[in-house]
Structure 1
Amino acid sequence: MANSLSYILTLLVAGIALIVLLTTRYKLPAFFALFLACLLVGLGIGLPLGSVISVIKDGFGNILKSLGLIIVLGTTLGLLLEYTGSTTVMAAFLLKKLGNKYAPLAMSITGFIVGLPIFCDSGYIVLSGLNRSMAKRTGISIITMSVSLATGLYAVHCLVPPHPGSSAAAVTIGVDFGKLILTGMVVAIPAMIVGNLWAKYAGGKNIDPITEDPIAVNETGKAPSLLKACLPVFVPIILIGTRSFLTTGTTPYPGWIMFLLSLGDPVIALLIGVLLAFNCKQGWQKTELSKILQEATEKAGGILVIIGMGGAFGAILTATKIGEHFSQSLTLGSMGIFFPFLLTSVLKTAQGSSTVAIITAASIVLPLLPVLGLNTETGKLLCVLAMGGGSMMISHANDAYFWVIAKFSGLEMKTMLKVYSTATILMGLTTLTMVYILSKIL
C-alpha cells in the first residue's frame, strides 16, 4: 500500500492519542482502548475490515501463546506468598539484620526482593502494615518509609520478568528471559538506591501523621521459616538464570544438564515456585486453596487481555510497514536507546500504566530496531531495559500504584507528587544512565 511516512506517523500518533484519551479522560479499560486503536490504524492504512480483525486475532493469540502461562503462574505465586505470610517473614529478617537506623534501606531491599515475583501494588498492600509499624517505632517519617518501599517494588516491576510489561516487551522484541532477569536486576539496583536516597532526603522534610487504622492481614496460622519463605522466590530465578547461561554455548550437553535446562523454562520454573509456596503453610483447607487459586486466575485474566490486545496493536503497527519507511531515514540512527526510553516515558506519563506504556512502545520500536542500531541480541536487551526505564517515569495521579501508596500510607497528594513522583523521574533517568553505560561495555 502506497502510504506516505507522514500519513503513517499521523495514524500512529492518532492511535496512541486515542489510547491515552480513552484510558485517562473516559476511564475506558485499556483492552477496549487498544482494540479501538487497532481498528483506527488498521482501517486507516487501507486494510479491509476482515483483514484488520484477522491481524488482531493473530497478534492477540501470538502474545498469549508466549506469555499466558507465565502470567497466570506468576500471579498465583505472588498471591500464595502474600497469603502464607512469606513476604512478611522476609521483610522482618531484613529489618532485624539492618536495625532501625537503616529501616528505610531495609524497606527498599524488602520491596526489591518481594517485588521480584509480586506486582508492585499487591506487594505494597501486603507490606504496608509492617511499613507503618516500623515508621511509628523508629520515628522515621512515614513518607520516607513509604517511598523507600514503593520504589524498591517499582524498580523490579518495570524491569524484571515475570512482570507483564517487561515480559511482553521481551517476547515482542525477542529477548531471552533469563538474560533480561539477570541484567534487569543489576540495572534495577541503582534505581532502587536512588529512590531510597531521595526518599530519605525529601521525605525527612515531610512528616505526615500516621493514622491508627489497622491494616487487615490474612490469618494463615504459623508463619513459615525464612528458608521456606525465600525458596519460592529464589529457586525460579536461579533455574531461569542457569538456563540462560547454559544455552549460550553450542556444545551438546549430557542428559542431566538437558533436564536442568527444561527446569529453567520460565513456565516450569514458576510452577516449581508455586509448589514451593504451598509448603509455606501447613494444613491447607480445600475452600481456602480453591479461593486463592480462583483469585489468581481472575487477576491474571485481567492482565492477559491487556497484554493480548497490546500484541494485537503491535501486529497492526507491523502491518503499516513503518519500519521500511524509517529504514530510509537517518533521523533516528543516532538516537539508539534514547528513542525507546523517550517514547515509553511519554506513554507512561500520559496514560499512567507502566505495563501499557512498555507494551505499546515495544510494538512501535520493533520495526525500528535496524535503523536505531539495536537489531542485535545485545541491542534488543538494551532496548527492553531502556523501555523499562521509560515506563518508570512519571508516576502521578493517573497511575493506580500512586493511589495505592497514598491510600495505604495515609499520605496527601501534594506530598506524593513532591516526593514519590519526583523519585520515579530520578529512577527512570538513573536506569537510562545504567543502560547507556552497559551499551558501552557490552
Structure 2
Amino acid sequence: MHLVLILVALIVFIVLATSKLKLNPFITLLLASFLAAFAFGLPLDSIESTIRGGFGNILGYIGLVIVLGTIIGVILERTGAAIVMAESIIKLLGGRFPTLTMSLVGFIVSIPVFCDSGFVILNSLKRSMARSLSVSPVSMTVALSTGLFATHTLVPPTPGPIAAAGNLGLENNLGLVIGVGFVFAIIAAAAGLFWAARCRNLPSTELEQAEEAFQEAREHYGELPSPMAAFAPIFVPIILICLGSIASYPTSPLGQGMVFELLNFLGKPLNALMIGLGFAAFLLKGEGKLEEFSRHTKKGLEVSAPIILITGAGGAFGSVLAQTPLGDYLGDTLSTLGLSVIMPFLVAASLKSAQGSSTVALVTTSALVAPLLTQLGLDSELGRVLAVMAIGAGAMTVSHANDSYFWVVSQFSKMSVATAYKSHTTATLIMGLVTIACVWLVSLVAL
C-alpha cells in the first residue's frame, strides 16, 4: 500500500509544482524522477542511467518526429497552407460541427500513426480551424487528442493493440479485433467529444498571438497554394505510414520482396515525415526560397526545443516508475480479485497511470492476463477480443504528467498544466470508464 501512496504523493508534487509554484515542467519532472528513484529505493548506481535511458528512449522515437512535424507546421502556417486545409475540410464536412470534424480526423489518422505523431502533424490544422470558425481552442484540442487516443489504444495495427492481440492468441484473427476495436473506439471518441464540448470556457493562449481576423490573415498571404499542395505535407506521410503498416501485417499481404522493403522503409514515421518536409518545401515561392526555408527551420527548432525537453523528462519519470515494484504490486493484487473484463481494465489502468505509456500498459497487461483467461471466463474467441478491448480501455486511463502524450498535447496547444488536467486528463478518464462500461455490458450478453 505504501507504494501507491508514494505514487500519489509524486503526482501531487508534479501538479502543485507546475500549477501553483509555476516551476518549469522540465525541471519538475526531472525532480520527480529523482524523488521517485529515492522513494522507491532504486539502487543508487542505477538512478542516473535509468533517468538518462528513459529520457533518451522516448526521444529516440518521438524527438525527431516532433522536430520535423513542427518545421512542417511552421511552413504550413507561414505559407497559408494551413488556412487552405481548414477551408477545404470545412467545405467538405461543413462548419456546423467543428469539434466532430476534428475528432474524426484524429480518429482516422491514429489507426496507423502513434497518437503523439498524429497530434504533432495535425496541430496546425486544428489551430487554423479553431481560428477560422471562432471555436474554443481547448475544445478543439480535446476533440483532436481524444479522437487520436481512441484508435491508438483499441485498433490494430497500432503496436499496442496488435501486441495485446498476439499475447492473447489472436494473431490469426486480427480482422475481428480490428472490427470490434473500431466499434469501441467510436464509443471512446464520442465520450471524448462529449467532454470537449464542456471545455469551451477553459483558458488557452494558443490563439492570443493572432493579431488579425481570420479573413485578414488569409488575405495577408496573397496567392495561396492549391488544396492538393497544402495537404500533401501532412497526408503523404500519413499514407506512407499506412502503407508501411499494411506491408508489415503478420500475413504479409504484399509479400517479402522489393515492394515490401520499399513500403516498410518509407512507412517509418521519421522517413515519411522527411518526405513530407520535402513536399512542404515546394510550398515556398518567390526568390530566396533557401533563405526562407532556413528561417522556417530555425523557428521550428525554437518552438520544438522546449517540447522535446519536457517530453523527454516525462519519459524519464515513467522509466523510473517502470523500474520500481509498483507495477508488479498492482498487477498481482488486482489479478486475484476475479472481476472478468473489469480485472484486465484495472490492471491496465493502474499500469498506465503509474508509468505513463499506453503501449507498455497494453503489452504488460495482456501478458499478465493471458494465463488467467480461463479463470476470468474469457477463454473463447470473443472473450479474448473483449479482453483486448478491456485492456485498451485501461490503457487510456488516464493520460497525465508521466505520459509524453500529455506534454505533447498541452505544450503544442499552449495550455497550462492545470487546464490540461481539467481538459485532456479528465477526457481520457471519461473515455476509459465509458469504454469499459460498454465492454462489460457486451460481455454480460455475449459470454
Tell me if TM exceeds 0.5. Answer: yes
1:317-374 C-alpha deviation (Å, 9 max, x unpaired): 2322334434543257643235545786xx7xxxxxxxxx983677788765544559
Q: Does 1:19 align with 2:14?
A: yes
**Which of 265, 271, 278 is matched with 1:268 structurally?**
271
Structure-to-structure mapping, 1:40-439, within 5 angstroms: 40-98=35-93, 102-105=94-97, 108-109=100-101, 112-113=104-105, 117=118, 119=120, 122-132=124-134, 149-156=140-147, 158=149, 214-215=212-213, 217=217, 219-249=220-250, 253-283=256-286, 285-329=289-333, 330-331=335-336, 334=339, 335-338=343-346, 340-341=348-349, 359=356, 370-371=367-368, 383=391, 386-388=394-396, 390-391=398-399
Give the C-alpha shift of residue 68 in structure 1.
Answer: 2.0
For residues 360 and 201 of structure 1, what CA distance do their matches in structure 2 show? 26
| Change in 2 beyond 3 A, CA 1:428/1:88 | farther
Give the C-alpha shift of residue 304 in structure 1.
Answer: 1.8
How many equivalent pairs are there?
378
| Change in 2 beyond 3 A, CA 1:110/1:14 | closer
CA contact (8 A) 1:315 1:363 kept: no
Q: Which amino acid aligns with 1:305?
A: L
The normalised TM-score by structure 2 is 0.65
Structure 1 gap segments, 5+ residues each: 1-5, 133-141, 162-168, 204-211, 348-356, 393-398, 407-412
Give the C-alpha shift of residue 390 in structure 1.
Answer: 3.7
Residue 130 of structure 2 aligns to a residue whose secondary structure is helix
CA contact (8 A) 1:340 1:365 kept: yes
Give the C-alpha shift of residue 248 in structure 1.
Answer: 2.0
Give the C-alpha shift of residue 403 in structure 1.
Answer: 8.9
151-160 or 52-61: which moved more? Answer: 151-160
What RMSD in Å do the two structures reach over aligned CA positions? 5.0
37-46 or 152-161: which moved more? Answer: 152-161
CA contact (8 A) 1:59 1:313 kept: yes
CA contact (8 A) 2:18 2:25 kept: yes
Q: Which residue of 1 aligns with 2:113?
A: none
Q: Which amino acid aligns with 1:260?
A: L
Q: Which amino acid aligns with 1:307?
A: T
For residues 63 and 303 of structure 2, what CA distance do their matches in structure 1 show? 12
CA contact (8 A) 1:340 1:390 kept: no
CA contact (8 A) 2:82 2:124 kept: no
For residues 415 and 332 of structure 2, what CA distance do their matches in structure 1 show? 46
For residues 232 and 436 of structure 1, what CA distance do their matches in structure 2 show? 41
CA contact (8 A) 2:142 2:192 kept: yes
Residue 96 of structure 2 aligns to a residue whose secondary structure is helix
CA contact (8 A) 1:386 1:435 kept: no
Q: Which amino acid aligns with 1:129?
A: R
Percent identity (aligned): 30
1:262-309 C-alpha deviation (Å, 9 max, x unpaired): 111111111111111222332363443222211212222222222222
For residues 279 and 231 of structure 2, what CA distance do their matches in structure 1 show? 9
For residues 318 and 259 of structure 2, what CA distance do their matches in structure 1 show? 39
For residues 199 and 287 of structure 1, what CA distance do their matches in structure 2 show? 40
1:109-147 C-alpha deviation (Å, 9 max, x unpaired): 257548955547654443333113xxxxxxxxx67xx78
Q: Which residue of 2 aligns with 1:395?
A: none
Structure-to-structure mapping, 1:23-38, within 5 angstroms: 23-38=18-33
For residues 45 and 405 of structure 1, what CA distance do their matches in structure 2 show? 31
For residues 126 and 385 of structure 1, what CA distance do their matches in structure 2 show? 31
CA contact (8 A) 1:341 1:432 kept: no
| Change in 2 beyond 3 A, CA 1:358/1:187 | farther
The normalised TM-score by structure 1 is 0.66
CA contact (8 A) 1:34 1:309 kept: yes
| Change in 2 beyond 3 A, CA 1:433/1:229 | farther
| Change in 2 beyond 3 A, CA 1:187/1:127 | farther
39-48 or 335-344: which moved more? Answer: 335-344
Give the C-alpha shift of residue 29 in structure 1.
Answer: 2.1
CA contact (8 A) 2:146 2:189 kept: yes
Q: Which residue of 2 aligns with 1:207?
A: none
121-130 or 47-56: which moved more? Answer: 121-130
Q: Which amino acid aligns with 2:37?
A: G
Residue 47 of structure 1 aligns to a residue whose secondary structure is coil
CA contact (8 A) 2:187 2:435 kept: yes
